[in-house]
Amino acid sequence: MDIEALRQDTPGCLNRVHLNNAGAGLLSRRTLHTMTAHLELEASIGGYEAAKQERSRIDATYEHIAELIGGRADEVALFDNSTHAWNAAFYSLTFQPGDRILTGRAEYGSNVLAYLQTAQRTGAEIVVVPDDAPGQTDTAALADLIDERTRLIGISHVPTSGGLVNPAEEIGRITRGAGVPFLLDATQSIGQFPVDVEALGCDMVTATGRKFLRGPRGTGFLWVRTQMLEHLDPFVNDIEAATWDGANGFIWHQGARRFASWEMSYANVLGLDAAVVQALELGMDRIGRRSIALGTHLRDRLDALPGVTTYDLGRDRCAIVTAKVEGLDTHDLAAVLARHDINVSTTVAEHTQFDTLHRGVHPLVRLSPHYYNTEAELDRTVEVIAEAARTA
């Protein structure tokens, strides 16, 4: 990878040390240009006419996403974020009193709220699978907990709150063996390192465009395995999702399109496509090796500083690094970094409820490099944190 060329192609790299890719990655010039060109086209010839003209490029987006994650194009539906994609899958499952939803401590805040609402509505139970010693979802405990009441396993691959990579492949092996649907929230992993739906054995996957994929804000997608469709009753209908049968009924469209809505931002869709194509060209293997190496570089150096502790769980850890400085409020540390033009974010206790109930460590400063960051940027960040720790 020619890091210098990639940085030249990323306007944000010129202004900031951007370590907030778990929040939103930086757009490349190519993605930005693709989007503005489509907006210009809409303004000059009309929105419907522009979509018609660009139809083949819009359609190619599904092919490219399928290539990225290993599924089929007709198993992909586009959304305006990952949460709506996840909701489309989750709320299309049906639950009876006593049914069980198994999830992990790392599960994302909105997913947990959806579980809580569904438990209230239907009498289903939420079971939080404990972690193993390194702090990832305990697969032996998961296997023991699965029984005839289990309707769903919902797992966050990488949490919003740290560098943990959950053992999704092993979880997929267990859920396949048990014949239980596996909904994987891959919002932080797709774009950061290779995610292959066949290798992971999941049935439904959700992702966002704006994080490690470097797509525009307001994009996301759902992938649903074809064999899973018969178990899902889409929870909303739409002229994109189904066709009127001419009398009193309707017919769902083939594939994942039945979850989609008719209207969408095609500038965003084409921007997402440009970002996915760029990831494919660079190669997810190479992207993953570098982003994880940068995460390790940063975590190791922060760990070595007196007064600084990192909090990332798991045996396999990724580019997300969470830390705290003794005697310094997390938001004050984030403000110090911001004064040095270093972009970070902070974890929110309410966004990972089960982790909060278990560890109670949030808020933490969250630093999330990506392949276009440099070791020099990370070392500068470590220096700022070292100084903050010295004077705390």
Ligand X SMILES: *Cc1c(COP(=O)(O)O)cnc(C)c1O
Q: Which residues bind ligand X (CB under 6 A)?
A: 81-83, 108, 156, 159-160, 185, 187-188, 208, 220
DSSP state of 27: P
Q: Compare residues 42 and 82 and give the one whose CB is closer to ligand X.
A: 82
Count the neighbouring beta carbons within 10 Å of the beta carbon of residue 157: 28
Structure tokens at 124: 């289903």
CB of 220 to ligand X, least distance (A): 5
- Angle formed at CA 197 by CA 192 and CA 200, multiple of 5 degrees: 90
Beta carbon nearer to ligand X, 82 or 268: 82
Q: How far is the CB of 271 from ligand X (least distance, A)?
A: 14
CB pairs under 8 A, 24+ apart, for 262-265?
A: 262/238, 264/78, 264/80, 265/80, 265/218
The residues that bridge with 215 in the sheet, in sequence order, are none
* Closer residue to ligand X, CB minimum distance, 28 or 188: 188
| CB within 8 Å of 20: residues ≥ 6 apart | 343, 344, 345, 366, 368
Closest approach, Cβ 85 to ligand X, in A, equals: 8
**Cβ count within 10 A of residue 31:** 27
Q: Using CA atoms, how far apart are residues 262 and 245, in angstroms rounded to an integer?
A: 18
- Shortest Cβ distance from residue 188 to ligand X (Å)? 5
Q: Least distance to ligand X from the beta carbon of 64, Å?
A: 19
Angle separating helix axes 375-391 and 330-339, nearest 10 degrees:
130
Q: How far is the CB of 160 from ligand X (least distance, A)?
A: 3
Indicate the residue among 220 and 255 with the shorter CB distance to ligand X: 220
How far lies 239's CA from each of 4, 105, 312, in Å?
Answer: 46, 38, 44
Closest approach of Cβ 299 to ligand X, in Å?
A: 18
Q: How far is the CB of 79 from ligand X (least distance, A)?
A: 8
Specify burial of residue 72 (Cβ count, 10 A radius: 0-12, 13-18, 19+).
middle
Q: Any idea of the CA torsion for 309, 133, 366, 328, to the nearest 10 degrees?
A: -30
When the beta carbons of 157 and 324 are compared against ligand X, the nearer one is 157
* DSSP H or E stretch at residue 99: none
Smallest separation (angstroms) from ligand X to the CB of 199: 20
Question: Helix (H, G, I), strand (E, B), or coil: what is residue 178?
Answer: helix
- Of 61 and 160, which has the nearer Cβ to ligand X? 160
- The tally of CA atoms less than 13 A away on the side-chain side of residue 213 is 32
Asked whether 363 and 324 are in contact (CB, 8 A), the reply is: no
Nearer to ligand X, 81 or 325 (CB): 81
- Of 310 and 368, the one with the shorter C-beta distance to ligand X is 368
The neighbouring-strand residues paired with 251 are 243
Q: Which is nearer to ligand X, 188 or 278 (CB)?
A: 188
